Amino acid sequence: MEKADIKQIETEVKPPVASKGVVGWARANLFNTWFNSILTLVTLFVLWKTVPPFFRWAIVDSLWFSTGEACRGTEGACWSVIPANIRFILFGFFPYQLQWRPLLAMVILVVLLFYSRDRRHWNNSLVYAWVAGLFAMGLLMKGGILGLVEVESTQWGGLPLTLMLSVFGLAAAYPLGVVLALGRQSKMPAVKALCVVYIEMIRGVPLITLLFMSSIVFPLFLPEGVTVNVILRAQVAIIMFTAAYIAEVVRGGLQGMSKGQYEAAESLGLNYYQTMRLVILPQALKIVIPPTVSQLISALKDTSLVVIIALYDLLKTTQSVLSDPSWMAFSSEAYIFVALIYFFCCYFMSSYSRRLEKELDTGL
């Protein structure tokens, strides 16, 4: 009887309707105070002044597949600069006939990355898939066996180079950063001192300095005749740099852990590595997902600094295209295109991090 009564009340009393149509919503949110009304009007004015002209430039008056000469006469955007030069922008000096190889390598990488997004796929076969994938990518880029023509790494460039430097840079920097963070918390004075010195030294210099050192100073220490690939050196510099920052982010997470978690793990008889791997790190790393991803995103964008040691990454190949007199005037279009590529990579990371956070949320 009582239950029925409660049900009836539930059906009768509805939550108050928050908005009454568009007008009600606008009044409640856009014009609820005089200050907000002014803000709304100013915003509308700015949008009216900027959006239509941009739309006209980017879409209405734009040219998509023309020569550079044809573009001169138009008021709109000359997107033609991209299709006309797409292969150089994406692949740099990689031999023109062989550019299917870096393309295939990138496809493999992207497929693997997408497949790895789902945590249910994280098992042994995924590890084998990555090993096989890495081998295939290396083979495609370098060649030299299996009837593939060898391509010197000095000819690598464009998007594959950017992706390679970022993906492997981040993949290696993250675990290294975690180890450094643990080292900095270590009770062993030597380990701790080493990690502190490393982290503070790396954080004390700009990435450019490290890249210069890797390309100019480092070879001075090598015995005569020995050379280390310039891409590898840049890769190592990026890893070392990013790891130091990741280490500090992870350390923040470790400090957020309560002493009780360590004690509970230890009182079960777990040793140091088990305690860290099974109890502390899963929680600490989860807490620091947002700052970690910020760090990784900025590392991805920092790979564009390798231009200073004469590597042709995505940004540099684009700039090279713009030094061609027939396309010189259309840098905005080309840069917008490159910006979009960077944006998609970064957005992929940040949306994935949000998804991970949601999946790992256990209500505490």
Query: Each residue of 188-198: b (16+ CB within 10 Å) or e?
Result: eeeeeeebeeb
CB 194 within 8 A of CB 183: yes
Residues 234 and 237: their CA atoms lie apart, in Å, by 5
Pattern of binders to other proteins over 250-269, x per CB under 8 A?
Answer: --------x-xx-xxxxxxx
63 φ, ψ (degrees, to nearest 5): -115, 135
Contact call for residue 274 and other proteins (CB under 8 A): yes
Residues 77 and 58: their CA atoms lie apart, in Å, by 5
Residues 257 and 303: their CA atoms lie apart, in Å, by 33
Pattern of binders to other proteins over 38-57, x per CB under 8 A?
Answer: --------------------
Tokens 């299996």 belong to residue: 146
Q: Which of 191, 270, 308, 349 binds other proteins (CB under 8 A)?
A: 270
CB of 144 or CB of 282, closer to other proteins? 282
Contact call for residue 191 and other proteins (CB under 8 A): no
Contact call for residue 30 and other proteins (CB under 8 A): no
Q: Measured from the CB of residue 57, what is the shortest distance to other proteins in angstroms?
A: 51
Query: Each residue of 227-253: b (16+ CB within 10 Å) or e?
Result: eeebbebbbbbbbbbbbbbbbbbbbeb
Specify the stretch interacting with other proteins by CB under 8 A; choose among 16-24, 102-110, 142-150, 273-281: 273-281
**Residues numbered 70-109 forming contacts with other proteins, rule: CB under 8 A:** none
Q: Measured from the CB of residue 115, what is the shortest distance to other proteins in angstroms?
A: 25
Q: In angstroms, what is the C-alpha Rg of the chain?
A: 27
Specify the stretch interacting with other proteins by CB under 8 A; choose among 35-43, 52-60, 280-288, 331-339: 280-288
Specify the stretch interacting with other proteins by CB under 8 A; choose among 88-96, 229-237, 328-336, 356-364: 356-364
For other proteins, the binding residues (CB under 8 A) are: 258, 260-261, 263-271, 274, 278-279, 282-283, 286, 360, 362-364
